[in-house]
Structure 1
């Protein structure tokens, strides 16, 4: 019922604001896999939704060269039973754009999370980099700033308010260079840092580039638990290669003695639709190893 209500509101907004708004878009994607999973207690089959989502985003031209922007996005799970936990909030904010850059307030991915670009070839799946690393945070009570590009460089900042009397504020910073889609430039790079985000400090460096048709990427990360001071280091290497309608992908990630390796392939059925398969295996030092084999379909709208 809640999902139907949200969709009704979205459709109503699209009708009411079309005349006034500069632009308004209803968008989303459905990504579902059938997978065989083994997390240490035996293999089992399951159907999983991988960050399927829908949202509304738009902008509105103001005076003095300003533009109002907004986004309301929710994650949905078409593979799970219908209940109040089926819908989760994702990025939801309002903000202003101008010659100064972009400033938003609400719930937003941190600067460090956004700095990864598209290096993670298995994002939203079992081998998403958050499987081993801290720093993949979407924070409430966030004020986020993104500067205009200057000679290819852009600065991103996130400030997370305390929200409680005995809590501390937190910050995330990133400096990025190039186009993370590798369409306008042949390489992308970033350095980023979290301070007290979800109890961790983290530093991350990222690079991705194209050689012929290959997309090659690498990331380095150091993270520290604020309360204990415990540090951990890791690195990631990824590769992708398009072959007609196919794309072949591989990725390797570590954090100290923990490591994961993934292999996969995508096949385009159309501009917004693909089928895919992947295998991921994790070797953990302090917990049970895990393996996953999946096939799935994704459609964007």
Structure 2
């Protein structure tokens, strides 16, 4: 029965894009598929380049809200799944969970619970010009987490400018700090952000404490949790887009610590968007340095459709490894 309902949802999405029924859910999604040539050099035996077709976090979902009969409240919900356009297989499954939650919204703000992106991950805004493809900032940056069992409260936009997001995550008997004892508290992990957004300006500061994650360059292998502080800034003057991100991350129960920087920019000329991005992370203990440089161009076919081409190179200095990717692709939102 569940498979039949899912098939109906897929059919509805294809037949009626952006469908919103009266007092019902909106069916939405994105198909982002690219043909890529990748080459990996480990400093000893460089690999031959290989061609791949990738799905780049293509997705299908439903979301919506409806009025409740109490204090002007609304119920909110979202169920979003990743789909594999290339081969229909995502770790042995056709659909894998992305952002899924239920909650309440009213004059007090928004309260939701489920599995979704942390406030720190969301704090990047739209600074990542190569999100979901080979140049994604997650290759050089910790903190890009979508977590389970998360409860989040968000204030209304204060002064039509600032929003506070505060989330907590019970560990549910998992040992997240590596001390040998499982955690059973209500807020074993926290993630908070303060976001300011107005016209062409975007700014955010966030912090994660005891987040289950790994460092990029300074991982010691002894601590399953890290603390992260992130600051992001974005500007969109005219046809330009400028983004910057600074982050520090350290292991909670070990010595690993690293500092990260992201710089991005784009320029729009009619239907064409030219973009560039640089990312770098330095390890304090290991002295390892990871750098990623990406260049690309998008051509807008319609409001929700584009084709693109890009190249990216990811390098680890001490490990003497280098990965180079060139790709062409298309993205259609519905």
Q: Same-fold call, TM > 0.5? A: yes
**Cα distance change on mapping 1:60 and 1:244 into 2, 3 Å:** same
Q: Which residue of 1 aligns with 2:201?
A: 187
Q: CA deviation at 1:220?
A: 0.2
State whether residues 34 and 295 of structure 1, in contact with CA within 8 Å, keep that contact through their aligned partners in structure 2: yes
Determine the C-alpha separation between the residues in 2 that align with 1:9 and 1:251: 37
**Runs of 5+ in structure 2 lacking a partner?**
42-46, 175-181, 213-224, 283-288
**1:187 Cα deviation after fit:** 0.8
Q: 1:80 aligns with which of 84, 87, 90?
A: 87
Q: Secondary structure at the match of 1:31?
A: strand
Quote the Cα distance in structure 2 between the aligned partners of 1:107 and 1:190.
Answer: 22
- State the match for 1:182 in structure 2: none
SS at match of 1:75: strand
Q: Distance in 1 between matches of 2:142 and 2:168?
A: 18
- TM-aligned CA distance change 1:3 to 1:33, over 3 Å: farther
Which SS does the other structure have where 1:113 is aligned? helix
SS in structure 2 at match of 1:289: strand
Task: Report deviation, 1:11.
Answer: 6.7
Cα distance per residue 1:114-139 (max 9 Å; x no partner): 11110110111122111111101111
Q: 1:81 to 1:212 in 2, by over 3 A?
A: closer
Partner residue of 1:238? 264
Distance 1:49 1:4, change over 3 A: farther
1:285 correspondence with 2:317: yes
Q: Is the aligned partner of 1:224 residue 2:244?
A: no
User: Is 2:121 aligned against 1:109?
Assistant: no
On the 8 A contact 1:220/1:234 being kept in 2, the answer is yes
SS in 2 for 1:68: strand
C-alpha displacement of 1:211: 3.0
Residue in structure 1 matched with residue 298 of structure 2 by the alignment: 266
Which stretch shows the higher mean deviation, 200-209 or 167-176? 167-176
**8 Å Cα contact 2:102-2:113 kept in structure 1:** yes
Work out whether residues 80 and 86 of structure 1, in 8 Å CA contact, stay in contact via their aligned partners in 2. no
Name the count of aligned residue pairs: 292
What's the Cα RMSD here?
A: 2.2
Measured in 1, the distance between the counterparts of 2:4 and 2:308 equals: 29
1:286, distance to aligned residue in structure 2 (A): 4.0
Consecutive unaligned residues of structure 1, counting only runs of 5 or more, are 180-184
Aligned counterpart, 2:183: 167
Deviation at 1:209, TM superposition (A): 0.7
Aligned-residue offset at 1:273: 1.0
C-alpha separation in 2, matches of 1:115 and 1:280: 23
Partners of 2:205 and 2:48 in 1: CA distance: 40
Q: Which residue of 1 aligns with 2:237?
A: 211
**CA gap 1:293/1:3 in 2 versus in 1, 3 angstroms:** farther
Aligned pairs for 1:50-69 within 5 A: 50-63=56-69, 64-69=71-76
Q: After superposing the two structures, state which structure 1 stretch, 156-165 or 261-270, moved more.
A: 156-165
Q: What's 2:221 paired with?
A: none
TM-score by length of 1: 0.91
Q: Give the direction of change, closer, same or farther, for the CA distance of 1:4–1:252 in structure 2 (3 Å limit).
A: farther
Taking the TM superposition and a 5 Å limit, the aligned residue runs for 1:137-148 are 137-148=145-156
Deviations 1:243-265 (A, max 9, x none): 10011110000001211100001
2:196, 2:204 within 8 Å by CA — same for their partners in 1?
yes
Deviation at 1:3, TM superposition (A): 6.5
Question: Is 1:130 paired with 2:141?
Answer: no
Q: Which residue of 1 aligns with 2:39?
A: 38
